[in-house]
Protein backbone atom coordinates (compact mmCIF):
# COMPACT_ATOMS: atom_id res chain seq x y z
CA UNK A 1 0.00 0.00 0.00
CA UNK A 2 1.49 3.38 -0.93
CA UNK A 3 2.41 5.56 2.04
CA UNK A 4 0.51 8.81 2.49
CA UNK A 5 2.85 11.84 2.12
CA UNK A 6 3.56 13.58 5.43
CA UNK A 7 2.49 17.14 6.05
CA UNK A 8 5.06 19.93 6.29
CA UNK A 9 5.74 21.77 9.54
CA UNK A 10 6.29 25.46 8.59
CA UNK A 11 6.82 26.45 12.23
CA UNK A 12 10.25 24.87 12.34
CA UNK A 13 10.98 24.61 8.63
CA UNK A 14 11.36 20.81 8.41
CA UNK A 15 9.66 19.00 5.54
CA UNK A 16 9.26 15.23 6.12
CA UNK A 17 9.36 13.13 2.95
CA UNK A 18 8.23 9.62 2.06
CA UNK A 19 11.60 8.06 3.00
CA UNK A 20 12.67 7.70 6.63
CA UNK A 21 14.70 10.91 6.43
CA UNK A 22 13.99 14.61 6.54
CA UNK A 23 15.25 17.42 4.38
CA UNK A 24 16.55 20.05 6.82
CA UNK A 25 15.24 23.50 5.99
CA UNK A 26 15.76 24.87 9.48
CA UNK A 27 16.21 28.64 9.70
CA UNK A 28 18.59 29.82 12.42
CA UNK A 29 16.11 32.47 13.59
CA UNK A 30 13.44 29.75 13.95
CA UNK A 31 15.72 27.77 16.24
CA UNK A 32 16.61 30.87 18.27
CA UNK A 33 12.93 31.38 19.04
CA UNK A 34 12.87 27.92 20.65
CA UNK A 35 15.85 28.56 22.95
CA UNK A 36 14.74 29.18 26.55
CA UNK A 37 16.59 30.37 29.63
CA UNK A 38 16.21 27.92 32.51
CA UNK A 39 18.39 27.82 35.65
CA UNK A 40 20.60 30.49 34.12
CA UNK A 41 21.37 28.42 31.01
CA UNK A 42 20.15 28.55 27.41
CA UNK A 43 18.40 25.27 26.62
CA UNK A 44 16.20 23.51 24.10
CA UNK A 45 13.37 21.24 25.25
CA UNK A 46 13.24 17.61 24.20
CA UNK A 47 10.01 17.99 22.23
CA UNK A 48 11.42 20.86 20.17
CA UNK A 49 14.63 18.95 19.49
CA UNK A 50 12.62 15.93 18.44
CA UNK A 51 10.68 18.06 15.98
CA UNK A 52 13.89 19.51 14.58
CA UNK A 53 15.41 16.03 14.16
CA UNK A 54 12.20 14.62 12.71
CA UNK A 55 11.82 11.89 15.34
CA UNK A 56 9.21 11.26 18.08
CA UNK A 57 10.00 12.81 21.45
CA UNK A 58 9.76 9.38 23.09
CA UNK A 59 12.33 7.94 20.70
CA UNK A 60 14.73 10.80 21.38
CA UNK A 61 14.47 10.37 25.15
CA UNK A 62 14.88 6.60 24.89
CA UNK A 63 18.08 7.07 22.89
CA UNK A 64 19.35 9.44 25.57
CA UNK A 65 18.52 7.00 28.38
CA UNK A 66 20.42 4.23 26.62
CA UNK A 67 23.44 6.54 26.68
CA UNK A 68 22.84 8.15 30.07
CA UNK A 69 26.59 8.28 30.87
CA UNK A 70 27.00 10.82 28.03
CA UNK A 71 24.51 13.28 29.53
CA UNK A 72 25.58 14.61 32.95
CA UNK A 73 23.47 17.22 34.72
CA UNK A 74 25.18 20.13 32.96
CA UNK A 75 24.27 18.56 29.60
CA UNK A 76 20.65 17.64 30.35
CA UNK A 77 18.18 18.00 33.22
CA UNK A 78 14.46 17.44 33.79
CA UNK A 79 12.31 20.49 34.47
CA UNK A 80 10.25 20.83 37.64
CA UNK A 81 6.54 21.60 37.56
CA UNK A 82 7.28 25.08 38.83
CA UNK A 83 9.67 25.68 35.93
CA UNK A 84 7.08 24.37 33.50
CA UNK A 85 4.56 26.92 34.79
CA UNK A 86 6.77 29.88 33.93
CA UNK A 87 5.43 32.22 31.29
CA UNK A 88 7.92 31.40 28.53
CA UNK A 89 7.35 27.65 28.84
CA UNK A 90 3.58 28.05 29.21
CA UNK A 91 3.66 30.04 25.96
CA UNK A 92 5.53 27.22 24.29
CA UNK A 93 2.79 24.85 25.50
CA UNK A 94 0.03 26.89 23.87
CA UNK A 95 -2.09 24.71 21.64
CA UNK A 96 -0.47 21.52 22.97
CA UNK A 97 -2.75 21.00 25.94
CA UNK A 98 -2.46 22.69 29.30
CA UNK A 99 -1.75 19.45 31.18
CA UNK A 100 1.73 17.99 30.73
CA UNK A 101 1.77 14.19 30.70
CA UNK A 102 5.45 14.26 31.70
CA UNK A 103 8.02 16.80 32.79
CA UNK A 104 10.14 17.67 29.75
CA UNK A 105 13.90 17.44 29.59
CA UNK A 106 16.05 20.46 28.81
CA UNK A 107 19.29 20.13 26.85
CA UNK A 108 22.10 22.65 27.13
CA UNK A 109 24.40 23.44 24.22
CA UNK A 110 26.75 20.64 25.28
CA UNK A 111 23.84 18.23 25.55
CA UNK A 112 22.65 19.10 22.05
CA UNK A 113 26.17 18.57 20.69
CA UNK A 114 26.19 15.09 22.26
CA UNK A 115 22.87 14.19 20.62
CA UNK A 116 24.33 14.03 17.11
CA UNK A 117 26.54 11.14 18.20
CA UNK A 118 23.66 9.36 19.92
CA UNK A 119 21.15 9.65 17.07
CA UNK A 120 23.76 8.72 14.45
CA UNK A 121 22.18 10.08 11.31
CA UNK A 122 23.23 12.57 8.64
CA UNK A 123 20.09 14.56 9.43
CA UNK A 124 21.03 14.85 13.12
CA UNK A 125 24.52 16.09 12.21
CA UNK A 126 23.22 18.71 9.79
CA UNK A 127 20.50 19.90 12.18
CA UNK A 128 23.03 20.04 15.01
CA UNK A 129 25.21 22.40 13.00
CA UNK A 130 22.24 24.73 12.63
CA UNK A 131 21.44 24.48 16.33
CA UNK A 132 25.04 25.25 17.33
CA UNK A 133 24.96 28.34 15.12
CA UNK A 134 21.72 29.40 16.80
CA UNK A 135 23.27 29.04 20.26
CA UNK A 136 26.29 31.11 19.17
CA UNK A 137 24.03 33.80 17.72
CA UNK A 138 22.02 33.87 20.94
CA UNK A 139 25.18 34.30 23.04
CA UNK A 140 26.37 37.14 20.84
CA UNK A 141 23.01 38.83 21.13
CA UNK A 142 23.03 38.55 24.93
CA UNK A 143 26.58 39.89 25.18
CA UNK A 144 25.91 42.76 22.77
CA UNK A 145 22.80 43.80 24.67
CA UNK A 146 23.94 43.05 28.22
CA UNK A 147 23.97 46.73 29.18
CA UNK A 148 20.45 47.22 27.79
CA UNK A 149 19.16 44.23 29.77
CA UNK A 150 20.88 45.53 32.91
CA UNK A 151 19.22 48.93 32.53
CA UNK A 152 15.81 47.36 31.92
CA UNK A 153 16.21 45.22 35.05
CA UNK A 154 17.22 48.31 37.06
CA UNK A 155 14.20 50.25 35.82
CA UNK A 156 11.89 47.34 36.63
CA UNK A 157 13.29 47.09 40.17
CA UNK A 158 12.83 50.82 40.70
CA UNK A 159 9.30 50.68 39.29
CA UNK A 160 8.42 47.81 41.62
CA UNK A 161 9.84 49.65 44.62
CA UNK A 162 7.94 52.82 43.69
CA UNK A 163 4.66 50.97 43.23
CA UNK A 164 5.15 49.34 46.62
CA UNK A 165 5.67 52.72 48.27
CA UNK A 166 2.61 54.18 46.53
CA UNK A 167 0.52 51.26 47.73
CA UNK A 168 1.77 51.88 51.26
CA UNK A 169 0.83 55.56 51.01
CA UNK A 170 -2.70 54.82 49.79
CA UNK A 171 -3.11 52.05 52.37
CA UNK A 172 -2.20 54.50 55.14
CA UNK A 173 -4.87 56.88 53.86
CA UNK A 174 -7.46 54.11 53.77
CA UNK A 175 -6.63 53.23 57.36
CA UNK A 176 -7.26 56.80 58.46
CA UNK A 177 -3.60 57.53 59.23
CA UNK A 178 -2.11 59.92 56.65
CA UNK A 179 1.46 59.07 55.62
CA UNK A 180 4.19 61.50 56.73
CA UNK A 181 5.57 61.86 53.21
CA UNK A 182 5.52 60.38 49.73
CA UNK A 183 7.12 60.57 46.29
CA UNK A 184 5.46 60.25 42.89
CA UNK A 185 7.21 60.07 39.52
CA UNK A 186 6.19 61.38 36.12
CA UNK A 187 3.63 59.14 34.50
CA UNK A 188 1.97 58.13 37.78
CA UNK A 189 -1.11 60.20 36.96
CA UNK A 190 -3.67 57.84 38.48
CA UNK A 191 -1.68 57.28 41.67
CA UNK A 192 -1.04 61.01 42.21
CA UNK A 193 -4.65 62.00 41.56
CA UNK A 194 -5.88 59.15 43.75
CA UNK A 195 -3.74 60.46 46.60
CA UNK A 196 -5.19 63.99 46.38
CA UNK A 197 -8.75 62.73 45.99
CA UNK A 198 -8.41 60.55 49.11
CA UNK A 199 -7.00 63.50 51.04
CA UNK A 200 -9.86 65.70 49.87
CA UNK A 201 -12.36 63.06 50.94
CA UNK A 202 -10.97 63.18 54.50
CA UNK A 203 -12.23 66.75 55.09
CA UNK A 204 -15.42 67.02 57.12
CA UNK A 205 -16.00 70.79 57.15
CA UNK A 206 -13.47 72.77 55.10
CA UNK A 207 -10.72 72.52 52.50
CA UNK A 208 -8.20 75.30 51.85
CA UNK A 209 -5.96 74.92 48.80
CA UNK A 210 -3.10 77.35 48.21
CA UNK A 211 -1.90 76.81 44.65
CA UNK A 212 -0.59 79.48 42.30
CA UNK A 213 -1.72 77.63 39.20
CA UNK A 214 -5.20 76.13 39.10
CA UNK A 215 -6.91 74.41 36.20
CA UNK A 216 -10.10 72.44 35.48
CA UNK A 217 -8.36 69.27 36.64
CA UNK A 218 -7.91 70.84 40.06
CA UNK A 219 -11.66 71.35 40.38
CA UNK A 220 -12.26 67.75 39.26
CA UNK A 221 -10.21 66.50 42.24
CA UNK A 222 -11.87 68.91 44.67
CA UNK A 223 -15.25 67.63 43.51
CA UNK A 224 -14.45 64.37 45.34
CA UNK A 225 -15.12 66.16 48.64
CA UNK A 226 -17.93 65.22 50.97
CA UNK A 227 -21.28 66.96 50.65
CA UNK A 228 -21.41 70.20 52.60
CA UNK A 229 -17.64 70.72 52.81
CA UNK A 230 -16.69 74.31 51.93
CA UNK A 231 -13.73 74.77 49.55
CA UNK A 232 -11.53 77.83 49.28
CA UNK A 233 -8.79 78.26 46.68
CA UNK A 234 -6.04 80.83 47.04
CA UNK A 235 -4.19 81.34 43.76
CA UNK A 236 -1.94 83.90 42.05
CA UNK A 237 -3.28 86.70 39.84
CA UNK A 238 -2.16 84.72 36.76
CA UNK A 239 -3.65 81.46 37.94
CA UNK A 240 -7.16 82.63 38.64
CA UNK A 241 -10.02 80.20 38.04
CA UNK A 242 -12.60 81.34 35.49
CA UNK A 243 -15.80 82.68 37.04
CA UNK A 244 -17.83 80.36 34.81
CA UNK A 245 -15.94 77.32 36.18
CA UNK A 246 -16.65 78.44 39.75
CA UNK A 247 -20.34 78.86 38.92
CA UNK A 248 -20.56 75.40 37.38
CA UNK A 249 -18.79 73.86 40.37
CA UNK A 250 -21.11 75.56 42.86
CA UNK A 251 -24.18 74.49 40.91
CA UNK A 252 -23.34 70.88 41.75
CA UNK A 253 -20.80 70.88 44.60
CA UNK A 254 -21.36 73.97 46.78
CA UNK A 255 -19.54 75.84 48.00
CA UNK A 256 -16.36 77.06 46.29
CA UNK A 257 -14.74 80.47 46.72
CA UNK A 258 -11.57 81.83 45.13
CA UNK A 259 -9.28 84.59 46.30
CA UNK A 260 -6.05 85.99 44.87
CA UNK A 261 -2.72 86.32 46.67
CA UNK A 262 0.85 86.77 45.45
CA UNK A 263 2.50 85.88 48.77
CA UNK A 264 2.82 82.13 48.31
CA UNK A 265 5.33 80.19 46.26
CA UNK A 266 4.71 76.66 47.59
CA UNK A 267 1.48 74.73 47.54
CA UNK A 268 -0.43 73.80 50.68
CA UNK A 269 -3.54 71.75 51.36
CA UNK A 270 -5.32 72.35 54.68
CA UNK A 271 -8.17 70.10 55.84
CA UNK A 272 -10.55 71.22 58.61
CA UNK A 273 -7.77 73.51 59.94
CA UNK A 274 -6.33 70.33 61.52
CA UNK A 275 -4.32 68.68 58.75
CA UNK A 276 -1.60 70.47 56.80
CA UNK A 277 0.09 69.06 53.69
CA UNK A 278 2.88 70.50 51.60
CA UNK A 279 2.50 69.50 47.93
CA UNK A 280 5.50 69.82 45.62
CA UNK A 281 3.55 70.41 42.42
CA UNK A 282 0.41 72.23 41.36
CA UNK A 283 -2.54 69.89 41.45
CA UNK A 284 -3.18 70.46 37.76
CA UNK A 285 0.30 69.01 36.97
CA UNK A 286 0.09 65.85 39.08
CA UNK A 287 1.45 62.84 37.26
CA UNK A 288 3.24 64.93 34.64
CA UNK A 289 6.37 65.67 36.67
CA UNK A 290 8.10 64.11 39.67
CA UNK A 291 6.91 65.61 42.94
CA UNK A 292 6.86 64.94 46.66
CA UNK A 293 4.36 65.70 49.40
CA UNK A 294 4.72 65.74 53.14
CA UNK A 295 2.58 66.12 56.24
CA UNK A 296 3.38 69.26 58.24
CA UNK A 297 2.75 70.34 61.81
CA UNK A 298 -0.90 71.55 61.98
CA UNK A 299 0.11 74.21 64.50
CA UNK A 300 1.43 76.15 61.47
CA UNK A 301 -2.07 76.51 59.98
CA UNK A 302 -2.92 79.79 61.81
CA UNK A 303 0.35 81.39 60.66
CA UNK A 304 -0.36 80.40 57.05
CA UNK A 305 -3.94 81.65 57.14
CA UNK A 306 -2.82 84.96 58.65
CA UNK A 307 -0.91 85.68 55.43
CA UNK A 308 -3.95 85.31 53.22
Look at residue 30 in the predicted model and tell me its pLDDT.
Answer: 75
CA distances from 95 to 85, 92, 100, 236, 306 (A): 15, 8, 12, 63, 71
Look at residue 20 in the predicted model and tell me its pLDDT.
Answer: 41
Look at residue 171 in the predicted model and tell me its pLDDT.
Answer: 59
Domain ranges of the chain: 14-144, 165-306
User: d(Cα 186, Cα 204) in Å, to the nearest integer?
Assistant: 31
Work out the burial of residue 115: count CB atoms within 10 Å of its CB; fewer than 13 is exposed, 13-18 middle, 19 or more buried. buried
Look at residue 74 in the predicted model and tell me its pLDDT.
Answer: 92
Look at residue 46 in the predicted model and tell me its pLDDT.
Answer: 92
Look at residue 11 in the predicted model and tell me its pLDDT.
Answer: 35
Look at residue 185 in the predicted model and tell me its pLDDT.
Answer: 79
Look at residue 19 in the predicted model and tell me its pLDDT.
Answer: 37
Are 259 and 232 in contact by the 8 Å Cβ rule? The answer is yes
User: d(Cα 10, Cα 102) in Å, to the nearest integer?
Assistant: 26
Q: Return the CATH number of the domain spanning residue range 165-306.
A: 3.30.870.10
Share of the chain above pLDDT 70, in %: 72
**Quick check: pTM over 0.85?**
no
Which segments of the chain have a pLDDT < 70? 1-29, 86-100, 122, 141-142, 145-146, 148-149, 152-180
Are 257 and 232 in contact by the 8 Å Cβ rule? The answer is yes
Look at residue 231 in the predicted model and tell me its pLDDT.
Answer: 96
Look at residue 232 in the predicted model and tell me its pLDDT.
Answer: 95
Amino acid sequence: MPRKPAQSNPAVGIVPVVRNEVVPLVRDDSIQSLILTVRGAQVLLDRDLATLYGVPTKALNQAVKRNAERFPSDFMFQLTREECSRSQIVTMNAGRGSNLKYLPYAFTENGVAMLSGVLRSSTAVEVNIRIMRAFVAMRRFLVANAEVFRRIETVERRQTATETKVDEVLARLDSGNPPPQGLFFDGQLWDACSLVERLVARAKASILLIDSWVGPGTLDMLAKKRTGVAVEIVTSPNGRVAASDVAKFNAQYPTLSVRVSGKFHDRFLILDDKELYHVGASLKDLGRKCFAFSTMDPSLVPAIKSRL
